[in-house]
Structure 1
């Protein structure tokens, strides 16, 4: 029997949130094993308009039947949808009867409104994470994770993160080979760890001044060097005193903090996605001393490198 995937939609949903996970399940079905059958659902059924204007035919939730996995998508209409009592009742019912319940992006708000996420660690799009934490204090929001798996509940960040989550679900069901082949067919990364950062540190520290924007890129390419204020000031063509003051005003942090954040991002990528020894990663990212890198990880991520590597679920 095919595994039934229920895809919960509502007016002004994000089309790609729905299309990405649907395509992943469709492609995985073509590679053998137990196939998936995806059914778009909505409160009353019929045609549901996405935020882009495209329409999808849906089945009413009252006729949903038995669902193996429920996926709630995000979109501009999530605030109206999360206030719908009928959808909340449906989600709570599926949380009791379905094997898994999942969300993409702001679809997590519908799960939270129904109480399904109380006491669980979850994620959503980074721009909405603080709003979720404030609105639902019983929910433990991991603002920077791509996707989070807490028991039978899976939550993911934006559009591409929904595909990452779907590939993880497929791998759990059908094995690594089918997951890998599905990713290859979709031309996406097979294993992007759920805890990997949603956005680049370079984007976070974006500067409106071209000289500092270029300098941040230069730092990212020279992390092994000794990057003192004097070295960076010379690279920027400024005096050290003027450089420090101008950098802080433009980037929003001190030069030393910016260098550490860029080193941390590069180190975390290697910790999660490679088998390199921690000592080697410390050297190649400019920390040089593994203990110094460990302390930086604890300050920024509240975990040492070894724990982050374990949580990435990489099999060597």
Structure 2
């Protein structure tokens, strides 16, 4: 198994002025939407200085909010913005955080006007997670390709049906416009920006320090199976979903699951689809894929052992699912993960 080496410093450090990254936060924003991308830029700046590639910080980062001072995020943690967004007239990269507070921001015409005014002035404009809804509300995604958290894609389409929504993308670049999927995908997007600015060796080195993929295989759908259990409002079905995740090596046909739920097959399939949004068979398949993905990442089990433990049975069955859903074979998936992890 080959491993990629850390990037070597450039022989001739480029002379550059600091690239200003401004993040717009607000009450009830998601904390990782803010801190994740900013950490990527901050870590990159430190790495470039440590390797004597850049004599001054390559990036400066700043968090702004509707008002200066402390504000409470959706997690209950307080963050402090030194300035209001109203004071900002210049930036190189402007990022819009997501979170449950995005709906209030979407109704604030003053914020939307500021984003529209800033858009043509910045080198890059981007959003994290549901921050794409704010960009759409400002009219900046019309006719563009974009993504958001997989649970918000329908909302994004309803705001503006001219948007080409990419529901499974980790991030989407359309010219100088970047949008990212759910929460941690903002870090993937930030790494892509670093790669554009400083090249793949630098981006790879920063990804290795942060124990991240440089380019994550697969899409957002690979993370949806575990999360789907949280979204069923039917207590009986929710308990069954969680049971499935712990018994993937067993026979999980619709007749057996319906019997466990004490329902007829027809009623079970109907209620499951209405509550979870996918069929029982799709849920089982995605749960098995998620479990196999994790075992390939975290264990040394042979591919055949992973296939058996996750309920695929034959290696070939698991290979077909991986290729269809993630675009890589199980062996290639394991190799790509371990190479990226360094």
Matches within 5 A, 1:97-116: 97-116=121-140
SS at match of 2:194: helix
What is the CA distance between 1:82 and its match in structure 2? 1.9
Among 53, 71, 78, the residue aligned to 1:49: 71
Mark the CA change 1:256 to 1:82 in structure 2 (over 3 Å): closer, same or farther. closer
Bigger shift: 60-69 or 191-200? 191-200
Bigger shift: 196-205 or 138-147? 196-205
Among 171, 179, 185, the residue aligned to 2:195: 171
Q: Is the 8 A contact 2:89 2:118 kept in 1?
A: no
Mark the CA change 1:217 to 1:162 in structure 2 (over 3 Å): closer, same or farther. same
Q: Distance in 2 between matches of 1:62 and 1:216?
A: 48
SS at match of 1:127: coil
Asked if 1:8 corresponds to 2:19, the answer is no
SS at match of 2:179: strand
Q: Is the 8 A contact 1:167 1:183 kept in 2?
A: yes
What is the CA distance between 1:100 and its match in structure 2? 0.9
Q: Distance in 1 between matches of 2:280 and 2:22?
A: 49
Structure 1 residue aligned with 2:7: none
Q: Distance in 1 between matches of 2:96 and 2:161?
A: 21
Q: Is the 8 A contact 1:42 1:61 kept in 2?
A: yes
Among 31, 34, 53, the residue aligned to 1:18: 34
Q: Distance in 1 between matches of 2:193 and 2:224?
A: 25
Structure 1 residue aligned with 2:306: none
SS at match of 2:26: coil
Matches within 5 A, 1:156-167: 156-167=180-191
Structure 2 residue aligned with 1:152: 176
- Superposed CA offset, 1:232-277 (max 9, x none): 95xx8x79xx9956863675466655566567779999xxxxxxxx
What is the CA distance between 1:93 and its match in structure 2? 2.5
TM-score computed with the length of structure 1 as normaliser: 0.70
Structure 1 residue aligned with 2:8: none
Q: Distance in 2 between matches of 1:258 and 1:10?
A: 35
Mark the CA change 1:93 to 1:268 in structure 2 (over 3 Å): closer, same or farther. farther
Q: Distance in 2 between matches of 1:164 and 1:268?
A: 19
Aligned residues: 281
Matches within 5 A, 1:114-153: 114-153=138-177
Q: Distance in 2 between matches of 1:67 and 1:10?
A: 18
Among 37, 41, 44, the residue aligned to 2:60: 37
Mark the CA change 1:182 to 1:251 in structure 2 (over 3 Å): closer, same or farther. same
Mark the CA change 1:244 to 1:80 in structure 2 (over 3 Å): closer, same or farther. closer
What is the CA distance between 1:202 and its match in structure 2? 5.0
Asked if 1:286 corresponds to 2:309, the answer is no
SS at match of 1:56: strand
Structure 2 residue aligned with 1:188: 212
Q: Distance in 1 between matches of 2:286 and 2:30?
A: 32
TM-score computed with the length of structure 2 as normaliser: 0.65
Mark the CA change 1:15 to 1:176 in structure 2 (over 3 Å): closer, same or farther. same
- Structure 1, unaligned runs of 5 or more: 270-282, 307-313
What is the CA distance between 1:76 and its match in structure 2? 2.8
CA RMSD of aligned residues (A): 4.2
Higher relative contact order (CA 8 A, sep 6+): 2
Q: Is the 8 A contact 1:212 1:247 kept in 2?
A: no
- Superposed CA offset, 1:188-243 (max 9, x none): 33331473426233543788476775556555x59xxxx8959x95xx8x79xx99
